[in-house]
């Protein structure tokens, strides 16, 4: 006699948070892939520096103010971001709405500072190898800030709509907060390379 074994999953919740969510694992995999891209850009930067007789090539070191201001802004954004993640886990709609507004503003602010950062590098993207890798690194990170900002704006719009109290959205907000932590963490080694390694 053939017997089939079936597991009753009807009592499981339809959505999970953190490691219980497939989206969380997808976001983690996405971050690993993108983290490899950031690491490769830093390796290329250091490799080009090792070949150059002096570094930076035909340019003074970048101005510290724009990059340092951006770094302080990104690090300061971690605190409200952590709060948004906690509020999402607690499914507190009112606090999540406020937190997403704050994080949207904190996503726009670095882009404004970045506009001043490109000229502060004192080199064009097509001037030489140094200029090319500097602009690639800044461009790569700018793309990630912009990506997370768009995601945050979409989630904010959803949380202010009739879909706002859907339990699945809280998981999306938690994943988005994790991604912003990644955006901040990847900037720190790039900041050291771009602004301090050039001064060694």
Distance CA(158)–CA(165), nearest Å, equals 9
Query: Do residues 59 and 122 touch, judged by C-beta distance below 8 A?
Result: yes
> pLDDT confidence of 59, banded at 50, 70, 90?
very high
Residue 12: per-residue pLDDT = 62
Q: Is the pLDDT of residue 7 over 80?
A: no
pTM of the model: 0.88
Q: Which residues of 156-185 are buried (b: 16+ CB within 10 A; e: fewer)?
A: bebbeeeebeeeebbbbbbbbbbbbebbbe
| pLDDT (average), residues 127-141 | 96
Give 146-194 pLDDT, tens digit per residue: 999 999 999 999 999 987 777 888 989 999 999 999 999 999 999 999 9
**C-alpha torsion angle, residues 195, 184, 155, 18 (rounded to 10):** 160
Q: How many CA atoms lie within 13 A of 124 on its CB side?
A: 2
CA nearest neighbour of 115 among 142, 134, 137: 142
Q: Is the pLDDT of residue 70 over 80?
A: yes
Residue 67: per-residue pLDDT = 96
Please name each of the domains of the chain with its CATH number.
18-199 (1.20.120.80)
Q: Is the pLDDT of residue 129 over 60?
A: yes
> pLDDT confidence of 5, banded at 50, 70, 90?
low
> pLDDT confidence of 24, banded at 50, 70, 90?
confident
- Of 10-24, 33-47, 125-139, least confident by mean pLDDT is 10-24
Residue 15: per-residue pLDDT = 65
Give 75-128 pLDDT, tens digit per residue: 999 999 999 999 999 999 999 999 999 999 999 999 999 999 999 999 999 999
């Amino acid at each position: 006699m053939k017997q089939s074994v079936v597991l009753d999953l009807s009592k499981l919740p339809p959505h999970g948070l953190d490691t219980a969510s497939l989206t969380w694992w997808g976001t983690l995999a996405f971050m690993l892939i993108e983290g490899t891209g950031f690491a490769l850009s830093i390796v290329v930067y250091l490799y080009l520096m090792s070949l150059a007789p002096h570094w930076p090539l035909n340019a003074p070191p970048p101005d510290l103010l724009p990059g340092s201001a951006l770094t302080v802004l990104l690090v300061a954004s971690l605190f409200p971001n952590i709060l948004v993640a906690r509020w999402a886990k607690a499914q507190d709609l009112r606090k999540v709405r406020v937190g997403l507004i704050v994080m949207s503003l904190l996503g726009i602010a670095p882009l404004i500072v970045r506009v001043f950062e490109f000229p502060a590098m004192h080199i064009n993207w097509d001037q030489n190898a140094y200029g090319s890798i500097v602009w690639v690194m800044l461009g790569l990170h700018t793309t990630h800030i912009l990506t997370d900002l768009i995601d945050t704006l979409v989630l904010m719009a959803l949380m202010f709509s009739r879909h706002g109290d859907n339990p699945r959205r809280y998981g999306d907000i938690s994943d988005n907060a994790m991604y912003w932590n990644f955006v901040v963490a990847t900037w720190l080694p790039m900041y050291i390379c771009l602004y301090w390694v050039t001064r060694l």
